[in-house]
Structure 1
């Protein structure tokens, strides 16, 4: 960014004021210096790994360390792939405009192979029906509110259906249609 186009926008009333022009030039040069600095692509959420992802997480407001134990007993520290999903979801939640269509955009960018249907119950609750194989960690991130944006104070009831082809879904109810359906009640507020 060159400052000349902005300096040329100053009206004739102020253009011949040397103090104002020197102040404006100084401010614009500082902005120009900032614009010339490139943040390394290593901190791009799609390319970052390890400590770089942790730094992005600090800026976004989402830790790699989950405040709960996963149902399968695995470590509550997210690996890079799942942490990247959690970070992208948090960024989307921070920028969410409050509409259901944008929830679908976020979902499709995170889980293109799984289908999401959102229903606003008009009683301060929402239903989310998920179909597809997401992996146990992703399902748990969804149920604790890490993935699907929702307004503050609104409960989210999650129903998940998937074909049973894996053995890490231990302890879940299998229906006669060979699908797994989980319903997670609204958390206590």
Structure 2
């Protein structure tokens, strides 16, 4: 308690032994530090860490573990920026090689805030642009273009990391109802329809 002396009856207030025992007990059971740690590490999403962020992830509906597609296969330069050439890659056997990647606290915090924004998204392009900048603003420019034919194109003026591609593929980005969308990367390196739209 903050003012434990106010709780001692007046007839015992001048007893040094009793006051010492009460003060020592108060320091031993004072929940202030525990409450402060709980607030900083769990309750406040801006400062939460570890398990606290995992709780926030469950609240908004995202997971810290992403499946990252491995693209380090032998190929030619036009295949993708991640294809390897002679002497540095393995031949592609036609199967999809994936691995689980655990996001760091900072990356997971960005994903949580973006998902929270998507949960309350108002359906406008400026709001979708704000979500994109929340996720990828430190990597380069990314924006939504309305093609004026019931389609939109999400353009990334950089090559996302495999984790970034996995975040895009995770379905975190909201999709307007009745609107077809596609992704465009500069430079273009992948085409796939597994993301809910064409990757140009």
| TM score, norm. by length of structure 2 | 0.55
Please name the residue that 1:112 is paired with. 137
Q: 1:184 to 1:85 in 2, by over 3 A?
A: farther
Q: 1:109 to 1:144 in 2, by over 3 A?
A: closer
- For the aligned residue pairs, the C-alpha RMSD in angstroms reads 2.8
Please name the residue that 1:25 is paired with. none
- Report the alpha carbon displacement of residue 145 of structure 1 after superposing the two structures with TM: 2.1
Q: Does structure 1 residue 187 correspond to structure 2 residue 196? A: yes
- 8 A contact 1:157–1:183 mirrored in 2: no
- 8 A contact 1:159–1:183 mirrored in 2: no
Q: 1:155 to 1:82 in 2, by over 3 A?
A: farther
SS at match of 2:100: coil
Q: Does structure 1 residue 150 correspond to structure 2 residue 161? A: no
- 8 A contact 2:68–2:166 mirrored in 1: yes
- Report the alpha carbon displacement of residue 153 of structure 1 after superposing the two structures with TM: 5.1
Q: 1:100 to 1:181 in 2, by over 3 A?
A: same
Q: Which moved more, 1:111-120 or 1:82-91?
A: 111-120
Aligned residue pairs, count: 132
- 8 A contact 1:143–1:184 mirrored in 2: no
Gaps of 5+ in 2: 1-34, 71-97
Q: Does structure 1 residue 63 correspond to structure 2 residue 88? A: no
- Report the alpha carbon displacement of residue 124 of structure 1 after superposing the two structures with TM: 4.8
Q: 1:77 to 1:100 in 2, by over 3 A?
A: same
The separation in 2 between residues aligned to 1:140 and 1:156, in whole angstroms, is: 17
Please name the residue that 2:117 is paired with. 92
The separation in 1 between residues aligned to 2:131 and 2:196, in whole angstroms, is: 23
Max Rg structure: 2
SS at match of 1:97: coil
The separation in 2 between residues aligned to 1:126 and 1:86, in whole angstroms, is: 22
Please name the residue that 2:166 is paired with. 140
Gaps of 5+ in 1: 1-36, 162-178
| TM score, norm. by length of structure 1 | 0.57
